[in-house]
Amino acid sequence: MSDEATTTGKSYLTPFNIIAGIIIIIGFFVTILRFTKGLGAVTNLSDYNPWGIWIGFDLLVGVALAAGGFVTSAAVYIFGLKKYHAAVRPAILTGFLGYAMVVLALNYDVGRPWRLPYPFVMQQGTTSLLFEVAACVALYLTVLFVEFSPAALEWLGLKKARNIVIKLTLLLTIFGVVLSTLHQSSLGALFLIAPSKLHPLWYSPYIAVFFFVSAIIAGLSMVIFESTLSHHYFADKMDEAHLKGKDDIALGFGKAASLVLAGYFIIKVIGISEGNHWHLLGTSYGIWFLVELLGFVALPCFFYAIGVREKNLRIIKWTAVWTVLGIIVNRLNVGLIAFNWHLPSSERYFPHWMEIAISVFLVTAGLVVFRFIVTRMPILYAHPDYPEEH
């Protein structure tokens, strides 16, 4: 969509705008019901299933797919891989919006959302992993906002403020990596207190490590995925550096994703061996576990390697899509499908259509905001006043 439809002659009634508009209207309607009628009116949550799709998808998946921000900034500013510099601002923006949508989604899930800040105000510290996750997510969202702010400040013409923030880039990157390491792993560690509820094939003493490593995979794949979509839909907003850098980004991040996937596959197998759960692989849950392990870990590892070896960008881009889908499958398995696996089917959780509507609404809102920003701010191009700095 152009900046101003009235000046370009283009209509606002595009397929994307129409579909997004319908989703947002439905989302607002369900939101009103949620905050006036309570959780029971719009969800299928219960005492047996207090965590539903708003945690399994909006939180666990959302946080993992937003990992591209810390992965990319670490690669460029800590490891000195400057050839991927063009990917930093889009990745930071995607991460910032992802975490913002996660925090917004939490307000729907918390029974009394106005009490969300209470742990920071009413308690003087706690040993709760959930408190640690909340603190790290809140701090990292702040870090992402500050890292994103130079683009907004350049757009607003606030040069002095922009230059101050730029000087903090390395410090913010290091702080962001530390915070991400903590809360990405702690989200997995939350399930350590539920060994009787999570299926043994997914439950492991190493689940915190699994979550952190898979988040790196998600971040690398999301950068490739986001870059592919941006080059398709926003090519007119890109400068020469961003247009030329797409191949290097796909090849470099694809190679890294293949290596990390290989390591992830190995530690997942070690997890099965440590628990001596080989006999469970022949069960129905075991078959589904193998689908995840072989189909969404080993397979993309192989295709990423083939794509990089042959320099076949098409294979790499489609593998990124498949890998992102695999991360979604893994998080839904841990948070929903393999959770409370011992309950009879009549007592198992399945999301209410309004829960799904809210999740789709939040994703759509994120896409709309992303498009608004990249069509106006220097995200996919260098600002004329700072041609050599990003």
Q: Is 100 left (phi over 0), alpha (psi -120 to 50) or beta?
A: alpha
CATH superfamily of 15-374: Formate dehydrogenase/DMSO reductase domain (1.20.1630.10)
Q: What is the DSSP letter of 235?
A: G
Confidence band of 312 (pLDDT split at 50, 70, 90): very high
Q: Considering the chain, what is the average pLDDT of its residues?
A: 90
Residue with more model confidence, 16 or 3: 16
Whole-number pLDDT of residue 344: 86
pTM given for the model: 0.92
Q: Which pLDDT score, from 0 to 100, does residue 239 have? A: 84
| Confidence (pLDDT) at 10 | 63
> Residue 110 corresponds to which tokens in the numbers above?
């918390």
- Reported as a pLDDT band with limits 50, 70 and 90, residue 131 is confident
260: exposed, middle or buried (Cβ count in 10 Å: 0-12, 13-18, 19+): buried
**CB-neighbour burial class of residue 181 (10 A; exposed 0-12, middle 13-18, buried 19+):** middle
Residue 260, pLDDT above cutoff 50? yes
| Average pLDDT, integer, range 65-81 | 94
pLDDT for residue 4 = 46
Q: Report whether pLDDT(386) > 90.
A: no
Domain coordinates in residue numbering, the chain: 15-374
> Cα separation of 60 and 57, whole Å?
6
Region 316-324 average pLDDT: 97
The 10s digit of each residue's pLDDT in 225-259 is 999 999 989 988 888 878 887 888 999 999 999 99
Would you state the pLDDT for residue 388?
Answer: 56
